[in-house]
Structure 1
Amino acid sequence: MIRNWPLLYRDVLLTGNLDSCVGVCSLWTERSIVQKIINDPSRYAVIGNLYSAQGINAMIRNIMANPRIRYLVLWGSELSLSGHSLLQLMHQGIDKNRKIINGRGEIEAEIPHEIIDEFRKNIEVIDLRGRHMDQLKTTITVLKPKPPFAIKARIFKPAKVVSRILPSEKVGFRVEGQKVAQTWLKILNLIDKYGLVKHSRYSQKNQIREVLNLTAVVTDEDPNQVYFPDYLPFSLTELKAYYAEFLTARQTPGTAYNYGHRLRKHFGIDQIQKIKDLIKTRPDSKKMLAVTADVKLDWGRANNGDTPCLTQILGSIYNHQFYLTAHFRSQDMVHGWPRNALALRQLQADMAKNSGYKLGPLTLITHSAHMYSDDFKLAKDILEKNFAKESGYTSSVHFEFDPRGNMVVEVVPMPKNKIWPADNALAVNRVLRKVKGKGRMIRATLFAPDGGTVVKVFEGRTAQETAWQITDFGYLAIPSHSMYIGMELQAAEAAIIHNQKYSQDPA
Structure 2
Amino acid sequence: MNASQIAHKFKPCYKPNQLILGYGQIAVVTGWTVRESVAKKLDNSEYAVIGQLYSATRGIDFLVRNLLLNPHVRTLIIINATKEDRNAGSCQCLLDFFQKGYFKGKSDTGKDCWVVNSEITGYIDIEVSETALDKLRNSLNVEMQSSIAEAVERVHALAKIEYDSWGEAIEFPKIEQESTILPGALYGHRIEGKTIAETWVKILHRIRTTGTIRPTGYDGKWQELIDLMAVVTDEPLNFYFPEPNYLPVDAEFISNYLPQVIEDAPYQEGVKYTYGQRLRSWFGRDQIEQCIGKLIGEIDAASAVMSLWDVKDHEKGGSPCLNHIWVRVVENEISLTAVLRSNDMFAAWVANAMGLRALQRHIRDEIASRSNYDLKIGALITISQSAHIYDDTWGSVDRMIANQYANICSQQTYDDACGNFLIEICDRQILVTQTTSGSGAVVKQYSGKDPLRLIRDICASSPAIRPDHIGYLGIELQKAYECIKSGKNYNQDR
Superposed pair shares fold, TM > 0.5? yes
CA contact (8 A) 1:447 1:455 kept: yes
Q: Which residue of 2 aligns with 1:26?
A: 30
User: What are the equivalent positions in structure 2 for 1:297-336 lying under 5 Å apart?
Assistant: 297-302=312-317, 306-336=318-348
- The match for 1:108 is 125
Check the 8 A contact 2:229/2:381 in 1, yes or no.
Answer: yes
Structure 1 115/479 Cα, relative in aligned 2: closer, same or farther at 3 Å? farther
CA deviations on 1:61-90 (whole Å, 9 max, x unpaired) are 111111222322111430422223323433
Q: CA deviation at 1:402?
A: 1.5
Judged with a 3 Å threshold, the aligned counterparts in structure 2 of structure 1 residues 123 and 96 are, in CA distance, closer, same or farther, namely same
Report the secondary structure of 2:17's partner residue. coil
Q: Which moved more, 1:67-76 or 1:268-277?
A: 67-76
Query: 1:126 maps to which residue?
Result: 143
Report 1:90-169 matches (<5 A).
Answer: 90=98, 91-97=100-106, 98=113, 99-101=115-117, 102-128=119-145, 131-143=146-158, 144-151=161-168, 153-169=169-185
Which residues of 2 match residues 404-419 of structure 1 at below 5 A? 404-410=418-424, 412-414=425-427
Alignment-mate amino acid for residue 196 of structure 1: T
Structure 1, 354-363 or 116-125: larger mean CA deviation: 116-125
Answer yes or no: is 1:368 the counterpart of 2:386: yes
Are 2:271 and 1:255 equivalent residues in the alignment?
A: yes
Deviation at 1:57, TM superposition (A): 1.4
Question: Which of 400, 409, 433 is equivalent to 1:382?
Answer: 400
Q: Secondary structure at the match of 1:496?
A: helix
Measure how far apart 1:4 and its partner are.
7.8
Q: Is the 8 A contact 1:470 1:476 kept in 2?
A: no
| Separation (CA, whole Å) in 1 of partners of 2:103 and 2:465 | 47
What is the CA deviation profile of residues 475-496 of structure 1, one whole-angstrom value per residue up to 9, with x for unaligned ones?
A: 5521111111111112222222
Q: Quote the Cα distance in structure 1 between the aligned partners of 2:50 and 2:187.
A: 36
Structure 1, 53-62 or 441-450: larger mean CA deviation: 441-450
Structure 1 position 86 matched with structure 2 position 65: no
Cα distance in 1 for partners of 2:379, 2:70 equals 51
Matched length = 464
Q: Specify whether residues 86 and 460 from structure 1 end up closer, same or farther in structure 2 by C-alpha distance, changes over 3 A only.
A: farther
Structure 1 pair 292–399 and aligned structure 2 pair: CA distance change class (3 A): closer
Once structures 1 and 2 are overlaid, which stretch shifts more, 43-52 or 89-98?
89-98
**Deviations 1:167-197 (Å, cap 9, x if unpaired)?**
1110001111111111111111111122212
Percent of aligned pairs sharing the same letter: 30
8 A contact 1:247–1:260 mirrored in 2: yes
Residue aligned with 2:191, SS: strand
Amino acid at match of 1:110: E
* Structure 2 partner of 1:273: 289
How far apart in 2 are the matches of 1:450 and 1:83? 53
Query: Residue 112 of structure 1: CA displacement?
Result: 3.3
- 1:319–1:43: structure 2 CA closer, same or farther, 3 Å change rule? same
Amino acid at match of 1:212: I
Matching residue's letter, 1:308 = P
* Deviation larger for 48-57 or 221-230: 221-230
Of 441, 463, 484, which residue of structure 2 is paired with 1:453?
Answer: 441
Q: How does 1:232-251 map to 2 (within 5 A)?
A: 232-251=247-266
Equivalence for 2:55: 52
Contact 1:180 1:338 in 2 (8 A): yes
**1:273 to partner: Cα distance:** 0.4
Mark the CA change 1:235 to 1:275 in structure 2 (over 3 Å): closer, same or farther: same
1:228 CA drift (Å): 4.7
Residue equivalent to 2:195: 179
Once superposed, what is the RMSD of the aligned Cα atoms? 2.0
Rate the CA distance shift 1:160–1:9 in 2: closer, same or farther, 3 A. closer
- Answer yes or no: is 1:216 the counterpart of 2:236: no
CA contact (8 A) 2:336 2:380 kept: yes
The one of 16, 26, 51 equivalent to 1:10 is 16
Partner of 1:222, secondary structure, is coil
Amino acid at match of 1:193: T
User: How far did residue 451 of structure 1 move?
Assistant: 4.8
Match status 1:64 vs 2:68 = yes
Query: Per the alignment, in what secondary structure is the counterpart of residue 43 of structure 1?
Result: coil
The answer as to whether partners of 2:38 and 2:152 remain within 8 angstroms in 1 is no
Provide the residue aligned with 1:227 in structure 2: 241
What amino acid is the match of 1:83?
A: C
> Partner residue of 1:500?
488
For residues 471 and 446 of structure 1, what CA distance do their matches in structure 2 show?
12
Task: Tell me the SS of whatever aligns to 1:94.
Answer: strand
Residue 299 (structure 1) shift: 1.4
Q: Does structure 2 conserve the Cα–Cα contact (< 8 Å) formed by 1:24 and 1:48?
A: yes
One-letter amino acid matched to 2:320: P
Asked if the contact 1:251/1:257 (under 8 Å) is kept, the reply is no
Q: 2-side partners of 1:105 and 1:481: how far apart? A: 44
Q: Distance in 2 between matches of 1:487 and 1:329?
A: 41
Q: CA deviation at 1:399?
A: 4.5
TM-score under structure 1 normalisation? 0.87
**Matching residue of 1:435:** none
Q: Distance in 2 between matches of 1:117 and 1:166?
A: 43
**Deviations for 1:294-338, whole angstroms, at most 9, x for unmatched residues?**
10x211123xxx111111100111121011100111111111111
1:421 equivalent in structure 2: none
Tell me by how many angstroms 1:221 deviates: 0.6
Unaligned runs of 5+ in 2: 1-6, 107-112
CA–CA separation in structure 2 for the residues paired with 1:125 and 1:182? 42
d(CA) in 1 for partners of 2:233, 2:33: 34
Partner of 1:349: 361
Closer/same/farther in 2, CA of residues 322 and 106 from structure 1, 3 Å limit? same
Summarize deviations over 1:243-279 as a string: whole Å, max 9, x none.
Answer: 0111101146222121111111011110100111111
Selected match of 1:198 from 183, 205, 214: 214
CA spacing shift, 1:150–1:450, aligned 2, 3 Å: farther
- Whole-angstrom distance in 1 between the partners of 2:132 and 2:434: 64
Q: Separation in 2 of the partners of 1:3 and 1:491? A: 74
Q: Following the alignment from structure 2 to structure 1, what is the Cα–Cα distance between the partners of residues 354 and 124?
A: 28
Distance 1:93 1:318 in 2: 54
Q: Distance in 2 between matches of 1:16 and 1:40?
A: 8
Tell me the TM-score normalized by structure 2: 0.89
Structure 1 residue 349: Cα displacement: 0.3
Deviations 1:29-86 (A, max 9, x none): 111001123x222121000011112111111111111122232211143042222332
Shift of 1:443: 2.0
Please say if residues 55 and 374 of structure 1, whose CA atoms lie closer than 8 Å, have aligned partners that are also in contact: no
